[in-house]
A and B are shown apart, each in its own frame.
Chain A
Amino acid sequence: MGAYLVRRFGLMLLTLFGISLIIFVLLRLVPGNIVDILFDSAGMVNPADKARIEQELGLDRSLPMQYAAWIGGMVQGDLGFSYVSEKSAWAEIGPRIPVSARLAGTALLFAIAIGVPLGVISAVRQNSALDYALRVMSLSGLSVPSFWLGLLVLMAFVALFGAMPIYTQESRTWTEAILLVLVPAATVGFRSSALIMRLTRSAMLEVLRQDYIRTAHAKGAYPRAVNYRHALRNAMLPVVTVIGMEAAFLAGGLIVTETVFNIPGLARFLVESIRNRDYPIVQNLVMLIAFLVVTINFVVDLMYAALDPRIRVGG
């Protein structure tokens, strides 16, 4: 177990190193840099001023020097500063982490809370009217684009309540804060829950056909106990994998939802920073998201062992 953890940790570091190289190089392959963007908002370019600012920001140094300065700073806890706001990168990134974490966490909870039970019900009631209804619901969840659903939800709120749950300034009451998280989270979670539901259903169907399930029924066990204690546990392995993948996606992929609901989270900030070629922000944010993704994958691997005793880590 110890050796496995050390090996996984080493792999994580290697992955992060690779990602750091890729993002660093990719950013510099994109045409234009921050100075071009700065001049864009001034509607002109002055070559002398441009060169001066590039020197100020260290963009005139060689790429290896720039990379070494970034990694060196990161190791010492210095993430650099945003070229746009001229604040420290951490001051820009830090406050946005809880915003995105709240949204992603709630969306994931919503997806699991809806997707898993409905998947089980759909499997247990296979080919019933309820199963068909749930399958149509899950299909629509997968087919409806998030931005469209988000706008639809906002329009419905405006039409029905004359109000809408979008971020303006920091929420003033708890109820407002909860609503601001719940509605966008449900919008995102709807798609994830559909995926989880479909997967749970197919995994459950496979397990429900096993002999030991038939035996459990023959022994007179309660159907609920058979379905949830015996079948679901064994059907959960692929579901956990998908939940892990969804969690990784939610960690940095909520750009559409954050834009539609105007949530000042990490994903929207990342896209804006890429647009601005704000290298320190983009590089550090990508590394943060990459770290979360590899950590989630690691946790999922560990959960396999907990769910299925036949799987032993490092075995």
Chain B
Amino acid sequence: MKRWLSLSLATAILATAAAAGAQTPKQGGIMRAWQRDSPGSASIHEEATYSTNFPFMGVFSNLVIYKQDVAQNSMDSIVPELAASWQWSADNKDLTFKTRPGVKWHDGKPFTANDVKCTFDKVRDLTQDKFRKNPRKAWFSTVRDITVQGDNEVTFHLERPQPALLALLASGYAPIYPCHTSAQVQRTAPIGTGPFKFVSFKQNESITLARNPDYWKPGRPYLDGIEYTIVTNRSTAVLGFIAGKFDMTFPLEITPPILRDIKAQAPGAQCFTAPLNVSTNLIVNRDKPPFDNADVRRAMALTMDRKAFVDILSEGEADIGGTMLPGPEGVWGMSKEMLATMTGYGPDIAANRAQARKIMADLGYGPNKMLKVKISTRNIATYRDPAVILIDHLKEIFIEGELDVVETSVWFAKLARKDYAVGLNLTGNAVDDPDQAFYENYSCGSERNVTGYCNKELEKAFDAQSQETDPAKRKAMVWEIDRKLQNDVARPIILHDRKATCTGPALKGYTQMVNSVYNGYRFDELWLNR
């Protein structure tokens, strides 16, 4: 059924693209978009939410980027931007980019290869002027050095081969910043080489971009500018979209019930449903008794009825998978057959729970001796709702959970202190690539590894898959790692959510990416048919 849905979705996207492609793009017009919240800053490198990528990706260019009109990000869809070409060395340890000549920053200064070095030296925390926070430093941990040869050539020297480096550089999270501006400037009034120049960012109000007439891609962008209006109330924003105030909703923010309303009230709107590549997952503090006992963790994994989560939370519009996003949208996800063999994924929930109850009974728990625990989660509906269902499922195996709603501002601080026993978390994968997912979320010492899971053997397997150049072999290695992560109850993935983006009838050329919500907002090919 899901496959049919996906196929029909793909057909719909293709049909839309074909319809848009049949028309000749028009120059001009201001696109009006709904922005769901006020981003922490304009500096993409410093933030870890697509609330920043959506409005500010258009200001920048990358070295390479996922092709903006291809829905599925993969190694095959990577195209040059500020790089004119790239070349791996024979030992796959040096990646050299020839950069595009004649490109100007928005302040008129010339872009050179040195700006690439400056950017990634700053990301690697090697510069005097530092980012306030640097969430993706770990992405570039294999980079030993970056050298510049003249104005138009830059080489990344790696400790070991890492083909996926290109995938990381193609992410919306890897824009090139100028050497001549500080991190503070990039946070408040960013300068880039992208299709749109920054005009203003009014906190909780609006973000405005204007067409960059000196954009390096001739004839682009089509739009004269983009106005992002920050509307924190979703009902107001959706009504605004229906009333024609916006040409586009915030990406993948439309839930199934709201989607039905939009389709009924704005028949001209085009809506695309896709996975966000954000997983809802269970986190367990492995240092806190009795959760230091692998059997308790295993029982918890066994009691979860993932289908119930999907049906209750998303009206069936979500996917069950492992760490990697399942297909057909995800490139690296395991098949349903494989998933069914893993701890807690089997379809016979009653049998799973019977097994879990036996484990708990052997540990001395039962109906008269419940294990009491606080289930910590952020005070946000998308966290709270699954946490409530989790409490219900845990009750089946003699675990009496009490919801511990944590003020959202201190959530990560609490996790970093390991001041929790059991929690419910959401994890976004910016790039549908195992290197990003494994190193960021499961490698020993990673700042984003909130559970502190550390398995040295598995870490070796991370490195092995990362160096593998044959995609088929790498996929097999990735599946094995993912299987071990789930069986080890490292951070059991409950579901991968799906939501929708809607565009108004006038907006053309938008492609909703289906395996990352972070990479598709360059907007140089968007145009308005008004």
Contact = CB atoms under 8 A, between A and B. Distances in A.
B404 to A, nearest CB: 13
Contact of A277 (B40, B227, B409, B412): B409
B302 to A, nearest CB: 29
A87 B243 contact: no
A163 B40 contact: no
A82 B46 contact: no
A197 B46 CA distance: 53
Interface in B222-253: 227, 229, 231-233, 235-237, 239-240, 242-246
B132 A49 contact: yes
A41 B203 contact: no
B419 to A, nearest CB: 12
A275 B204 CA distance: 12
A305 interface: no
A42 B40 CA distance: 9
A42 B239 contact: no
A183 to B, nearest CB: 13
Contact of B243 (A31, A162, A262): A162
Contacts of A289: none
Contact of A168 (B51, B232, B245): B245
A84 B245 contact: no
A79 interface: no
B344 to A, nearest CB: 25
A46 B244 contact: no
Given A151-B235, A261-B236, A84 B410 contact: no
Interface in B29-47: 32, 38-41, 46-47
A39 interface: yes
B476 interface: no
Interface in B179-228: 184, 187-188, 201-206, 208, 227
Interface residues of A, number: 48
Interface string A140-160: 000000000001001101100
B411 to A, nearest CB: 7
Interface string B398-413: 0000000001111111
A84 B237 CA distance: 24
Binding site of A, secondary structure by majority: helix, strand, loop or mixed?
loop
A147 to B, nearest CB: 9
Most A Cβ at <10 Å: residue of B187, B237, B244, B410: B410
A44 B135 contact: yes
Interface string B123-135: 0000000101111
A42 B206 contact: no
Nearest to B246: A168
B157 interface: no
Contacts of B135: 42-44
A311 interface: no
A264 interface: yes
Interface in A240-282: 259-262, 264, 268-269, 272, 275-277
A85 B413 contact: no
A160 to B, nearest CB: 11
Given A45-B447, A269-B204, A262 B133 contact: no
Given A44-B133, A84-B40, A164-B239, 18 more contacts: A32-B413, A37-B409, A38-B133, A41-B52, A42-B46, A42-B133, A44-B447, A49-B133, A53-B132, A82-B203, A85-B188, A151-B239, A154-B236, A155-B239, A162-B243, A166-B236, A168-B229, A262-B237
9 shortest interchain CB distances as A-B pairs:
A41-B40, A32-B409, A43-B48, A264-B205, A32-B410, A42-B135, A44-B447, A45-B416, A42-B133
30 contacts: A31-B410, A32-B413, A39-B133, A40-B408, A42-B133, A43-B428, A43-B448, A45-B412, A45-B416, A47-B416, A82-B203, A84-B41, A87-B188, A95-B202, A151-B235, A151-B239, A154-B236, A162-B244, A164-B245, A166-B240, A168-B206, A168-B245, A169-B32, A169-B206, A169-B208, A260-B235, A262-B229, A262-B232, A269-B203, A272-B204
